């Protein structure tokens, strides 16, 4: 489900960001600059989503929601705070879109006649192979 730009803007404005020092490569940059981004979005207090959408998000994103109903994401893959923030926003929007997309129900189908015949033919071949082995072993 593709979210409209207006809703995306509302979601981003409802998020809170905080920066901290990130581990990993980067030399002295790691020790001096706060590049790790933490994105927080309060799902319970949000007016953007309906109750059914909140419920669906709660179920689909249960591993990313804490006990207070806040979605928490961390991003520290880049050495730049701005790039990490952009990546965190992109990841957040993608998670929301995926969670709100309804799953397609599987339509039951019956096996075709040709697939049934192929299965029976393979069974006959397998049976013949085993039968030939049995006969050579008895000698």
Full-prediction pTM beyond 0.75? Answer: no
Rounded to 10 degrees, the C-alpha dihedral 77/56/93/36 comes to: -30
Angle at which helices 5-14 and 81-100 pack, to 10 degrees? 120
Which residues of the chain fall below pLDDT 70? 24-27, 30, 135-139
What integer pLDDT is reported at residue 33 of this predicted model? 79
């Amino acid at each position: 489900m593709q979210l409209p730009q207006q809703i995306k803007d509302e979601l981003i404005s409802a998020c809170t960001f905080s920066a901290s020092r990130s581990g990993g490569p980067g030399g002295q940059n790691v020790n001096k600059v706060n590049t790790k981004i933490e994105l927080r979005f309060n799902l319970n207090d949000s007016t953007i989503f309906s109750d059914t959408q909140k419920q669906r998000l709660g179920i689909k994103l249960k591993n990313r929601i804490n006990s207070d109903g806040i979605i928490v994401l961390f991003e520290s893959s880049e050495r730049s705070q701005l790039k990490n923030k952009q990546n965190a926003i992109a990841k957040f929007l993608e998670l929301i879109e995926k969670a709100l997309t309804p799953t397609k129900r599987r339509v039951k189908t019956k096996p075709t006649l040709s697939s049934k015949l192929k299965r029976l033919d393979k069974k006959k071949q397998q049976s013949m192979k085993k039968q030939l082995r049995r006969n050579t072993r008895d000698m």
